[in-house]
Amino acid sequence: MTNARTTKTDPAAVDPRLGEVPPELAALDGEDEVGGLPTLEEVGRRLPIGYRDATGKLHRDFELIEWDWDVEEELGELAERNQDMPMGVYVSEVVGRGLRTLGELDFTKLKRSQRRLVVSQLYHADVIYVYVWLRIVALGRHLKFEEFDCETCGFAHENFAGDLKSLEVKVHEGEGSPTAEVEVEREFRYGKQEVRRVTVGPLKWSFMETSDVTVLTNPAKFRLATLRSAVVAVEGLENGAPVVLTREHAKGMGPASVNRLVAAIDEIGGGAVMECGGRCARCGAKFRRAIDWTYDNFFGRSSR
Ligand SMILES: [Zn+2]
């Protein structure tokens, strides 16, 4: 989701539970597309999009707690007690525990359930962004990758470590949340309205918490669930009522329209591009590797 390039090719490929993004996707030359973006280190502890609280105030700057052995042990116990906890929920726990402040919100004064609620309302891009910073605080900036072969010369890279602080970050400037209006291919009925234009916003983290494996492994379901959670408005519906798009609406507008909307959602999602780049140690060819940010890999012993 944070990686517009690979998600446009196959939205399902970004979910960690589906395994690593295939190298032929990860290695697509993205340098021209993402070049010139600020790095994670340059953006610092500031959410790429931001959180609007109940009063409408935007919060972007955040601080983290001091990550120590006790916190790690506490999170480890939580994982042990809840073996079937979906990764999205676990990341919410980690981020909720790791945040000290978000704007004026003091996370240390919130109950666990309240922290979880705030995190689930954050944008996907913002949650992942905080999560990467937590990883840096916990284990340092370098992330070791699984062995892979150079696509040009076949050289086996056994010890490639990417620098998380060098990740490129798409930041949304401005007060309002980013939105995109998309014209669908086929008019569809929403209630009594004939709709030709749909407005979408970035994906919220709640999508990751509520999507089960059947959604994440089925590209069609994945696209529909993405659309459902990121649609902001449909043309002609002026009363501000929340928009709920169903399978029938998706059928009405046609699959190409759904794909176009999902691409728009990815495009405005922003956040850290979860890929590390490097050059082959033997032939010098450039490569990019997608980051596996599942907790075990990202925080586990294997990533040290
Ligand atoms: Zn090579």
Give the tens place of pLDDT for each residue, 221-239.
888 888 888 998 998 887 6
CA distance 47 to 290: 21
**Cα 291 to middle of ligand 1, angstroms:** 20
Q: Low-confidence residues of the chain, pLDDT below 70?
A: 1-35, 239, 301-304
Contact partners, residue 223, CB within 8 Å, separation at least 6: 11, 258, 259, 262
pLDDT at 35: 62
Q: How far is the CA of 152 from the centre of ligand 1 (A)?
A: 5
CA of 293 to the centre of ligand 1 (A): 25
Residue 30 Cα to ligand 1 midpoint, Å, equals: 18
CA of 157 to the centre of ligand 1 (A): 9
pLDDT, tens only, 105-130: 999 999 999 999 999 999 999 999 99
Q: What is the DSSP string of 136-158?
A: HHHH-SEEEPPPEE-TTT--EES
Those residues whose C-beta lies under 8 Å from the C-beta of residue 183, and which sit 6 or more positions away, are 196, 197
12 Rama class: left (phi>0) / alpha (psi -120 to 50) / beta: alpha
Q: What is the pLDDT of residue 218?
A: 82
What does the pLDDT read at residue 4? Answer: 37
CB 160 within 8 A of CB 146: no
Q: How far is the CA of 277 from the centre of ligand 1 (A)?
A: 13
CA of 279 to the centre of ligand 1 (A): 8
What is the distance in A from the centroid of ligand 1 to the CA of 286? 8
User: How close is the Cα of 148 to the center of ligand 1, in Å?
Assistant: 11
> What pLDDT shows up at residue 214?
73
Going from N- to C-terminal start, the domains of the chain cover 4-172+271-303, 180-269
- Distance between CA 243 and CA 177 in Å, rounded? 17
Residues whose CB is less than 8 angstroms from the CB of residue 233 and which lie 6 or more positions away in sequence, other chains included: 198, 199, 243
The sign of the CA dihedral 142, 147, 152, 153 is positive
Q: Distance, CA 26 to ligand 1 centroid (Å)? A: 16
Each residue of 20-57: b (16+ CB within 10 Å) or e? bbeeebbbeebeeebeebeebeebeeebbbbbeeeeee
